[in-house]
Structure 1
Amino acid sequence: MPEALPKYIEISGELVDYLKYRNKLDDFSFHKYIREIEKLNDPLSEDYLKALACAANGRQEDAILFFEEALRLGIDTYALNYATYLSDYGTHKQLSALTKRLIGTYGCKTMLTFAWETNLFSGNIDQALIYAERFIDAADKKDAEKMKEDSVDIVIDTARFKESSSLTHEQYMFVAQSMLDIADNYNVRPASIAFVFVPEEKTASYIMTLKTNDVDVISDMNLDIAFSLAENDSLLGKNFSVWYQGLEEVDSHACN
């Protein structure tokens, strides 16, 4: 007969499932979990489990505080799940800041992917490529080949986009960051970016796919980015367009 899992692993698995399947933990169950966690009297798991419980209950500020305490223990799983939580429920700004802090200590493939994506979405292509190389070194053949293709494509596409639209690198980064700022304002996370070129019309488009399919939110975001970029006089006369689209409109990851 198989041995029962330690209680802290059982609790962790249950709470991670709430987050994974986006099922909010109700208040009664939240307080029940907190009592069970405190009953364990385990300093190695208490802050981490409380972070998961708060996260599952929608208490983001408390979750972040407990995750920060759990980081002091230097346990890989705690750091990775903290970053994964921010990737799914936090803002790009939060994930980017955390990844910068942790990437030197926790260099697993998932953390390297977060570093690649956050820099890619920010328009910081050179830094993104550094993490792409580290990912390639750490990954198996299939994943490494995929990252090689993505990194080559992004170099070609961003260079073509900037040339087609007559954008400087600084202007490109401004456009990319503006897209992220509006996404953060709506608490919507980016899933990927893509470029569309119409040579006969000499136009180029920058498209950000979002982790949402709420058409009203996406519509409002597209209005906001249009007004935001229109306020930058240095972009006047530049022949490009940008827009957001929902996740179901394209099957992609990080870049196309």
Structure 2
Amino acid sequence: MNLFPKTVEDRDCEVPQAVRDLVQQGAVFYVNSSAGKDSQAMLHFVLRHVPREQVVIIHAVLPEVEWDGVLEHLEATAMGLPILTCRSRRTLLQMIEQRGMFPSPSQRQCTSDLKRGPIERTIRQAGRKLIVNCMGMRAEESSSRAKLEAFKFNERNSKNGRQWYDWLPIHAWEVEEVFGLIKAVGQEPHWAYSKGMSRLSCCFCIMSSKADLTTAAKLNPVLYRRYVELERQTGQVMLMPSKKHGRLTLEQVTGVLAA
């Protein structure tokens, strides 16, 4: 944590000049939102620099595995901005059943197939020619996210006269800044945070901490049982084995027995 935490005005000064230029050029800013804390704070920060008419919220629906009230929370905090929703042709649980294994940190089909793919496809189908795709990843979350470029030209999606840029508006932010901005604009984060969750996204994520998995197991017993059954069915475990504890099932990790 910084000795002297930065204010949102300090963060305003860190917005790249290229982003300011794209605003003036009329680019459409698509704000990826899971309805989690980072997405919520990112939206408000983007709106400090981009006119409302140039901002669109986009959400990848995750049937069965999302937290209750995600869409309702997203709509309640969108302040009337347009919301696009999209989804993959198959669900995460179907993917696990068909592949006979869970996603892993090195092969995160859950992200590429269920989130990034549908979102990028939906943006392309909108037909805009100047695009800024805004995502809420923060460096504080992991070493891999710390290595991400906060702003870059996306060559893969820049085709057929389309210019596409990726921007991580809150990449350098600390978690206290995230919650602070949400409070400052008079909103509350999704209810799951008040129950002890540190992240939202899927109820049970391969990147989740033991504490988050335990909390999620207690709050979502029916879905938790589905994951435990999938471990037994596939013969695999959801979490990667660790050097300290080796291979553990969800029940061993959380201490919660599936009813």
TM-score (norm 1): 0.28
| Between structures 1 and 2, the one with greater helix share | 1
* TM-score computed with the length of structure 2 as normaliser: 0.27
Specify the structure having the higher radius of gyration (Cα): 1
> Which one scores higher on RCO, CA 8 angstroms, separation ≥ 6?
2
